[in-house]
Amino acid sequence: MLSYRHAFHAGNHADILKHSCLTLILSSLLKKDKAFTVFDTHGGGGLYQLDYQGLVHTGEAEKGILKLLEHISQVEPPQSLTTYLELVKKYVTQGMYPGSPEISKAMMRQQDKLFVAELHNTEIEILRGNLSILDKRKNQTPSISIHHESGFSLLKSCLPPLVKRGLILMDPSYETDSDYEQPIRALSQAAKKWETAIIALWYPLLIHRSQQLDNMLCQVAEGFSLACRHNGDRKVITAELHIAPATEDQAAPRLYGSGMMILNCPYLLEEQLQENLPYLVQALAPSQGSWEAREWS
């Protein structure tokens, strides 16, 4: 199914969790001069207008990134959240919100390589246009390879990369049953081919999909563990941001939160998330929100 358009949801609470995690992982990779590779399997449009009628109608950016930026003017954010906030503010002042390909492009260096996949026929053209915009840094932008295909297929054909440091970011729309099944196979195979990769899997928290989600996370973690069993212990964590309680109340939001499963978790990332998540709850959902960050076992 290719009906999902992220332009209706850009800058919401799920983006805040996903993109703040992404900036922390990229910052970790940037600590070394050595080049790295990033695979973004579901690129979307890459850059979104905050005045887009569909986004204004849903109100998700207003309740998400705009609310968060208002909060930081009153309550100082944790240091580990500032890279994300400072980057995003530059776009918001121009009436835009950056998607994950744009965030990666903005943070990566000339020696780094970014692969982005997008299957939607409309979104791929928007993505190509957005990522081709001349960057003020000119020769400091990374090499970018854009693919009009499934991100699962991209991983199958392009792994392992020539540069063995790096990240796989995966965030399917989770509209269909297959979106809960394909990450299991794709990430298990990816871990076998590219054992040193950091893998970041975003997932939605939906009451009616809870059993499928639990099954997916268990199997992804198990597949990763089996793939890396000859290479020592590799840390796996999950981090979740809840903007409402998990309830079947009709008045409750359908998407009550989201999470990130990080495989081969970078050093100190769990501690940084344990610092950031309470702040995000305070900013976005102080009366009903909650958070969780833990090592997967």
- In angstroms, the CA 58 to CA 64 distance is 11
Q: Which of 15, 40, 171, 179 is catalytic?
A: 171
**Distance of CA 185 to CAs 210, 221, 264, Å?**
19, 11, 17
Residue 171 appears among annotated catalytic residues: yes
Report whether 224 contacts 237 (CB < 8 A): no
Which residue from 252, 259, 179, 260 is spatially nearest to 212, judged by alpha carbons? 179
Which residue type does 226 have? L
Which residue from 52, 56, 33, 36 is spatially nearest to 44, judged by alpha carbons? 52
**Distance of CA 219 to CAs 13, 80, 190, Å?**
26, 30, 14
**Distance of CA 94 to CAs 100, 138, 292, Å?**
17, 20, 33
Catalytic residues: 171
